[in-house]
Amino acid sequence: MRWLACFLFVACALSPSHVVAQADSSLRSGGDARNKLIGTAVNTTVLRTDPGYRDFLAREFSSVTPENVMKWQVVEPQRGKPDYTAADQLVQFAQANNQAVRGHTLVWHKQLPAWLAAGGFSSSDLADLLHAHIGDEVSHFAGEIYAWDVVNEPFNDDGSWRNSIWYQAMGSDYVAMALQWAHEADPSAKLYLNDYSTEGIGAKSDAMYALAADLLARGVPLDGVGFQAHLGLQYGFPDSLTANLQRFADLGLDVAITEADVRMPLPADSDKLARQADYFGRLLASCLAVDRCVSFTVWGFDDSHSWVPGVFQGQGAATLLDQAFERKPAYDALRDALAASPNARQSDPADGVINHTK
């Protein structure tokens, strides 16, 4: 059964090892008041082992995205033997805490199973494998995932098509095929395209806009576009973000900030943290300014478990909490942005989220 979700504030005490000063209101309750899902990517290994991590996650967020455990590499390490154990555990946690689940991701050029990445498949083989993968995974979670990042990162930075295994096999039509297959497996799920460096108006976001418009004109099932928003202090803020989100919304699509973090050259200092807070606040303010921006998701919430230092040498401190699990100015910037915006959306961003209490 579908419902208009009203996510409740969950008052959870943090473990002594993770002492966080209690806020007057959580990000979750602020998002509820604005009818915006406030989400985070989840490290399921930490979720299983750290009570403080679990408590903060339950209290502060109304939406969760699996960081890795719904990616093909994890769900089908052996060909023909899908294993959704870790992903199921996250879904169960979300259901227990009345949280929406965003599925991430069905089609990507990275984190493929070793047996698939090894190659040796014909184009028709790859199309069949992708069809089977999408159908199996989406069907497994049918009725439990409110939105899927169906196709992730299809474009190069200059707006040209990424020459991925899928593009090589099927050309650009692989996007439409993937969306159609996902829709057939769960007609109730919202289906998204998702990419990075598309926040501002430019070559890459223009390519995404043209793709989205074309898919809609062809009747391909597409509900929204996700903007990852992996930002860095050494780069300027994408000042055209609000206008960019609005032009996609004007196509009749939902839009979402899906993977927000703001990295900085280390070490962090008060000036960098203040600028980071400004970036986070402006990201959320842009989402709040666009009626069809339905959710705002950070890519992890504490620096101890951020992906950034492992990928960007000498950079880090990209999230809302420091390595001691203390709130940074960025957390308060998000909370203040939610409190400062007076105009609530008229429709519910989680329309179609499953009633987990049934």
Q: How far apart are CA 159 and CA 171, in angstroms?
A: 15
Q: How far apart are CA 46 and CA 304, in angstroms?
A: 10
Helix (H, G, I), strand (E, B) or coil at 162: coil
Environment class of 182 (CB within 10 Å of its CB; exposed 0-12, middle 13-18, buried 19+): buried
Q: How far apart are CA 233 and CA 194, in angstroms?
A: 22
Tokens, residue 291: 């009626």
Q: In 77-171, where do the E strands start and end? A: 100-107, 147-152
Among residues 60, 137, 153, 199, the one annotated as catalytic is 153
Which region, left, alpha or beta, applies to residue 119 given φ > 0 means left and ψ of -120 to 50 means alpha?
left
Q: How far apart are CA 298 and CA 258, in angstroms?
A: 7
How many angstroms separate the Cα of 201 from the Cα of each of 198, 222, 247? 7, 21, 10
Catalytic status, residue 259: yes
CA 36 to chain centre: 14
Sign of CA dihedral 268, 37, 49, 145: negative
Catalytic status, residue 326: no
Among residues 60, 67, 199, 259, the one annotated as catalytic is 259
Which pairing describes strands 353-354 and 293-298: parallel, antiparallel, or unpaired?
unpaired
Tokens, residue 34: 């604005």
How many angstroms separate the Cα of 63 from the Cα of each of 95, 261, 325? 10, 16, 20
**Catalytic annotation, residues:** 153, 259
